Each structure stands twice: as structure tokens, then as C-alpha cells.
Amino acid sequence: MSTTYMDDEDCPADRSVYRVEFMEGGSVRVFCFDPQQVDPKLETCKKAEALPEWMQKRLAVLLVMEYDPPTKIIKGIGRRIDKNVF
């Protein structure tokens, strides 16, 4: 799941980092920061329900977090950057 930055401790080298943005109309934009690990199914997701279950679960955790800066990293989950970006 997505954050724009995570310490090495919070983001092991064998994991990709994703940026997830909820758009108007309920669509979702997913960007993977590791072009070697891009899952084409993620890049074409239009609705949150179409995201993989592992990503939906992490987003559910982040949705209850505050989004006023500074935001906190949840180890193994990610960070909520603002109201619609994770």
C-alpha cells in the first residue's frame, strides 16, 4: 500500500511501495514505485472493490487514521498522506 516515503525499517526491500488515491466518483488510482513489480491489474482498477483484498485491508486501517500533518507511518501498512491519498 501506499506511501510516498517510508524508512527502510518500515518498507523492506522485497516489498513494493504503492500510492493509492481515491478520485471523484469512487474511482481509485494506484501507482507502484517499483516498475519491476507493477501488477497490471492494479493499474487498471477503477473501484476500490476491485483492489486486491490485501490492499483493501490496509486501506481500511489507514482510513481511520488522521490525515492532518504530520501523519504517522503504521509499520507494515503504510501512511495516510491526506484525505484521499495513502
Query: pLDDT per residue over 56-81, tens digit each?
Result: 999 999 999 999 999 999 998 999 99
Q: What average pLDDT does this structure show over 26-54?
A: 77
pLDDT(1) > 70: no
What pLDDT score does 17 carry? 84
Whether the Cβ atoms of residue 22 and residue 39 lie closer than 8 Å to each other? no
What pTM did the predictor assign? 0.73
pLDDT(4) > 50: no
What percentage of the chain has pLDDT greater than the value 70? 70
